[in-house]
Amino acid sequence: MRKLILLATLALTAAVMPSALASASPAPATVAAAPTAAQLLAKTTSCKQISNGKYKTDEDASGKTVAVCDANGAVFWKADMDIDCDGQRTSQCNENTDCCYQDDTAFHQSDGKPLNAAKLPYIVVPSSSSIWKYSSSGLKGGGSCAVIYNGKVEYAVIGDTGPTQIIGEASYATAKDLGINPDPSNGGTDSGVTYICFKNSTVSPIENHSNAVSKGQSLATTFVNNN
């Protein structure tokens, strides 16, 4: 009888312990949600212009309308989106699909190859000029940026440089992910794109989009909190 009581006691203890341990365990940490497009755009309603004048959105644009604006921890501009298909030759990006195709990008992958515009979301910054020198704002190749369009946010890297007088360009992959026609011959959009690039940031390796997303979300949260 004593043996039966002992066995029953052990069984009851075994049944109670897991739930007791579970209740004693700390709850898993919650990960804060990344800022929404609306939250990011709310921080770009006014412009503290740092560019010396403004940029055109296209070569044949009639006027210069886009300023580069300063913010706490970032710079931003509101422009169009032209499609950059330069870099590695793919079925989407080559001499036949893009009249202005070049087989190189200003910044390269960790293996030394040009970036892959069809695969990697990246943006293009204007080459340094008297209007604006991107490096003076803490931007560089592989820097982290948030691109906002039509309620969507895409995290991208600075992957290429463009003409000194024009702004508003991103890779095939960036456009595709944002729901913009990515075709280099007839794609892009004429307006409605906001580019926010975070100062003194680097995504490493530059070709790792998952790293770009995690880094971008973290920096975007800081941007929203500090502006």
pLDDT over 70 percentage in the chain: 86
Pairwise CA distance, residues 77 & 75, whole Å: 7
Out of 14-28, 39-53, 73-87, pick the least confident: 14-28
Tokens of 205: 């390796």
- pLDDT computed for residue 200 by the predictor: 98
Sign of CA dihedral 35, 36, 40, 43: negative
Out of 2-11, 37-46, 109-118, 178-187, pick the least confident: 2-11
* pLDDT tier, 62 (very low <50, low <70, confident <90, very high otherwise): confident
Per residue in 95-141, pLDDT (tens digit) is 999 999 999 999 999 999 999 999 999 999 999 999 999 999 999 99
Residues β-bridged to residue 166: 56
Nearest to 158 by CA among 180, 134, 176: 134
Out of 59-63, 109-113, 161-165, 185-189, pick the least confident: 59-63
- pLDDT computed for residue 99 by the predictor: 92
CA 95 distance to own-chain centroid: 27
The chain-wide mean pLDDT, for the chain, equals: 90
- pLDDT computed for residue 33 by the predictor: 87
Q: Is the CB of residue 196 less than 8 Å from the CB of residue 148?
A: yes
Nearest to 83 by CA among 133, 121, 54, 51: 121
- pLDDT computed for residue 146 by the predictor: 98
Residue 87, pLDDT > 90, answer yes
- pLDDT computed for residue 31 by the predictor: 54
Per residue in 178-224, pLDDT (tens digit) is 999 999 999 999 999 999 999 999 999 999 999 999 999 999 999 99
Q: Is the CB of residue 206 less than 8 Å from the CB of residue 115?
A: yes
Pairwise CA distance, residues 179 & 177, whole Å: 6
